Amino acid sequence: MIRKVINIVAALTLIFFSLLVPFTSLTSGTNVSFQSSDGQWSDSEFLGKGRKFETVVTLFEAYKIKCNAANATLQRTTEKPPNLTLRSLFNDYDAPKWQVPLATMTTNSINALGPDCNRNGLLPKQWELASTRAKKYIASLAKHN
């Protein structure tokens, strides 16, 4: 009898979590993709795994430092979802990520590693600079709301 109860509880727990995971993915908002204006870098959020806009912007700033791409700008390649969809209910369209200018995805964009210049990593001071620049950029987007 106890074994049967344990099996039922285990089955119900499994069912509960299998239903919860897709729901939390939907309620976390839209994963947004970005690229550099020079077409040499791209990356995206993965909200279900905790990869947020702040991380993407920091990696973009790191790309600009490491690859000497000071004139590159960040572009959003994900359009806002249509209104009245389940996913749109969980987006904050005033959030800084939606203030990044929208652009058409370039076919030559490379993943977050970027071109060869970015594959050797950054020094700690360069990471600190990238983080500082990312925070300033995000703050500037928030001011434009």
In-domain check, residue 3: no
- Whether the per-residue pLDDT at 75 is higher than 50: the answer is yes
In-domain check, residue 4: no
Predicted confidence band at 3 (pLDDT cuts at 50, 70, 90)? Answer: low
Order the strands of the 42-44 sheet from edge to edge.
Answer: 42-44, 33-36, 74-76
In-domain check, residue 38: yes
Domain count within the chain: 1
Task: Note if the pTM is more than 0.85.
Answer: no
Query: Does residue 77 or residue 16 have the better pLDDT?
Result: 77
* Helix, strand, coil percentages for the chain (3-state, nearest 5): 50, 10, 40
- Whether the per-residue pLDDT at 87 is higher than 80: the answer is no
In-domain check, residue 24: no
Could you tell me the residue range of the domain that residue 93 belongs to?
30-143
In-domain check, residue 123: yes
The whole-number average pLDDT for the span 124-135 is 95
Say if residues 53 and 96 touch (Cβ distance below 8 Å): yes
Q: What is the pLDDT of residues 10-65, one digit of tens each?
A: 555 555 544 444 444 445 678 999 999 998 899 999 988 888 999 999 999 999 99
Percent pLDDT > 90 in the chain is: 44
In-domain check, residue 95: yes
The SS3 assignment for 46 reads strand
pLDDT at 107: 65
In-domain check, residue 1: no
Cα 134-137-138 angle, rounded to 5 deg? 85
